[in-house]
């Protein structure tokens, strides 16, 4: 069984190769799979671990995008002023 687990892990691309959208899509798939409760404990644990990595990766990409916008605009991001 460890060989099939290794094969499944090889099917998933490394996080660094994923776009934000692809990583988020994979994360949504993992959440759906965990919510069904049909996975074994080992599969659920593996899915949870991958999900945690994806959450951290997506957060890092968002932080980088925010920093880039701040650098381009020359100021900190803030809420838009109310038009009323």
Q: What is the pLDDT of residue 11?
A: 78
CB 55 within 8 A of CB 14: no
**Mean pLDDT of the region 76-84:** 61
* Domain ranges, ordered by start, for the chain: 18-72
Q: How far is residue 65's CA from residue 63's CA, in Å, rounded to a whole number?
A: 5
Q: What is the pLDDT of residue 7?
A: 42
CB 20 within 8 A of CB 61: yes
Q: Is the pLDDT of residue 78 over 70?
A: no
Q: What is the pLDDT of residue 82?
A: 64
pLDDT in tens, 41-60: 999 999 999 999 999 999 99
Q: Is the pLDDT of residue 9 over 60?
A: no
Architecture, CATH, for domain 18-72: Orthogonal Bundle (1.10)
């Amino acid at each position: 069984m460890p060989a099939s687990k290794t094969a499944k892990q090889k099917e998933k691309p490394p996080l660094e190769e994923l776009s934000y959208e692809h990583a988020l899509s994979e994360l949504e798939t993992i959440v759906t799979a965990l919510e069904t409760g049909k996975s074994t404990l080992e599969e659920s644990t593996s899915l949870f671990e991958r999900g945690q990595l994806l959450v951290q990766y997506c957060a890092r990409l968002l932080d980088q995008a925010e920093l880039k916008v701040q650098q381009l605009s020359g100021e900190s991001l803030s809420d838009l002023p109310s038009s009323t």
